Chain A
């Protein structure tokens, strides 16, 4: 990613084709590292086969069975998928997840962009960036508990604050209307600093002289943001957006320690629904079918991510 990546890289040109022809004029033995290559690859290949490939096949198979962990899976064909179409809880889970993703990604990206721009134009302080990163480094379980306490109806600091401002008390996690926005806000708190730093790293790639000359031409900060920063940041912004969306679709930990899907299903997101079906009710087959649906959604997003990745890296290694 631009000049900044060079920090961790030794000097010297990148060699895009490691298997290419040897340098001309220097005689070299034709190498075939077949045998030693297996040694290098053995752990990764075993890991891939056992914990990625095999479970993926198993997962698809489970989705076609009735399986409760105790007896062997019982093949039922497409029945789980037929059930899924008429399962209101499934559709509700999709709706609730979509709501969460929109609120969370929207607020997180706007705030992250604002913070990144301010840092980029004001300071290069590492200490500041480190502090903004702190919430991201903390387990989501801790974040969930911390905000469960801060937003507590009776004793929470936020409600004390709202009371002092004469705005009354809100049951942030207990009201069906408030629960989802509250969780989205909590995760926005946890991930905004991280998002900001990613965008900031992207901004560092924009040549500084563009700002210098714009400033000489009398452009204000806002104009520079809309005419220089935004357009040149677009590839990075798109990538960050897709990556955080993939993460956002998989929200689980925060909900598992705060609302546990309630009140009345208001926060029963797709990930939590799968977890509940699989490990509370032991409907492994049905849970796998729901997981297949989620995998399809995320697969599309990941495909977009890989395309963006290739596009933004084309001038590198």
Chain B
């Protein structure tokens, strides 16, 4: 972008007068106004459903029929959050519209954090190690091995889900975090590809200086290369966190039990337990809100990095 800015500036310098005129004219043109209107409409369409989710979560279940159109609930309440978090007695929860089934979203929230945290940290480290080996180390068959690993991109997840499920089941790892994270923590082709690409772009001189000081490849990687790769590591780590946070099918198959149930699985089960004729919408929306909150925090804290990470992870 810096390059573009310089170019813009050069052009403005050369033809300053000619350039200012179309800009002022464009600022008030009806086309520009219409364009902004479209953007604002898109923004409202993006955000409003989330607003409605929170609004429903704050509505007493008994009011759903009488109070389902106003922008603000008539009798706002936090009971729906309290009951899905397991902070009320069963009687209170049922009185507030619950199905009577045990729900403990605090635990599911924690499980989701453990699940995505484990995967993000371990996968990023393992893939960084592999990516570095492919970028810098010399050993026979390097490019062939790299090609084979990248070919794993061609295998769709559903294809390996069934044999992997059988494997985890035979290992007696169902409903353990070990079984849930095992297929994802050691490698993913895209992360290896991405990090190798990055390591290739680091100037060699930095590492050569360390080698002259007598540091081996292993020490070099941990003490010199990793610390200077914080940006790309964070990018891959973030993308992986989001992916794991959204994951549904695999944890549904391998971690349905209360002890390992993640948010997405819990929401699915919660919905199935609630009667089809009159679903527990207020409870469901409270649970849904809880699955959005951490992501929202992530977006507020790391919005810029997340947005900019799309510039290269789009190939995922």
Contact = CB atoms under 8 A, between A and B. Distances in A.
Contacts of A78: none
Contacts, number: 333
Nearest to B128: A40
A198 interface: yes
Interface string B227-265: 010011001000000100111110001000000000110
Of A43, A118, A128, A250, which is in contact with the most chain B CB atoms at under 10 Å from its CB?
A43
Interface stretch (A29-37, A80-88, A176-184): A29-37
B42 to A, nearest CB: 6
A95 interface: no
Given A47-B187, A157-B52, A212-B8, A131 B248 contact: no
B155 interface: yes
Interface in B260-309: 263-264, 267-268, 271, 281, 284-285, 288, 291-292, 295-296, 298-299, 303-304, 306-308
Contacts of A311: none
Contacts of B246: 137-141, 253
B136 interface: yes
Contacts of A9: 198, 201, 232
29 contacts: A3-B2, A7-B1, A9-B198, A14-B200, A18-B136, A34-B139, A36-B216, A37-B139, A40-B137, A44-B129, A48-B187, A50-B182, A52-B187, A56-B155, A56-B159, A69-B166, A138-B291, A139-B246, A140-B248, A142-B267, A147-B49, A198-B310, A204-B311, A252-B158, A253-B248, A275-B158, A303-B154, A306-B153, A317-B197
Nearest to B182: A51
Contacts of B105: none
B109 interface: no
B156 A295 contact: yes
A10 B68 contact: no
Nearest to B249: A252
Chain A's interface size range is 35 or more
B290 to A, nearest CB: 9
Interface stretch (B15-23, B76-84, B87-95, B96-104): B15-23
Nearest to B3: A3
Chain B interface helix/strand/loop/mixed = helix
Interface of B: 1-4, 7-8, 11, 15, 18-19, 22, 31-32, 35-36, 38-39, 42-43, 45-47, 49-50, 52-53, 56, 64-65, 68-69, 126-127, 129-130, 132-133, 135-140, 142, 145, 148-149, 152-160, 162-164, 166-167, 169, 182-183, 185-187, 192, 197-198, 200-204, 216-218, 221, 228, 231-232, 235, 242, 245-249, 253, 263-264, 267-268, 271, 281, 284-285, 288, 291-292, 295-296, 298-299, 303-304, 306-308, 310-312, 314-316
Contacts of A127: 303
A34 B158 contact: no
Contacts of A141: 246, 248, 264, 267-268, 291
Given A41-B133, A252-B249, A257-B267, A240 B314 contact: yes
Interface string A1-45: 101110111101111101100000000000111101111110111
B138 A209 contact: no
A126 B200 contact: no
A271 interface: yes
Interface in A132-149: 132-135, 137-142, 145-147, 149
B162 A287 contact: yes
B159 A44 contact: no
A278 B69 contact: no
B204 A142 contact: no
Contacts of A58: 163, 166
A257 B38 CA distance: 31
B314 A33 contact: no
Nearest to B267: A141
A189 B314 CA distance: 18
Contact of A142 (B198, B231, B292): B292
A221 B31 contact: yes
A213 to B, nearest CB: 8
Contacts of A41: 129-130, 133, 145
A198 B314 contact: yes
B201 A15 contact: yes
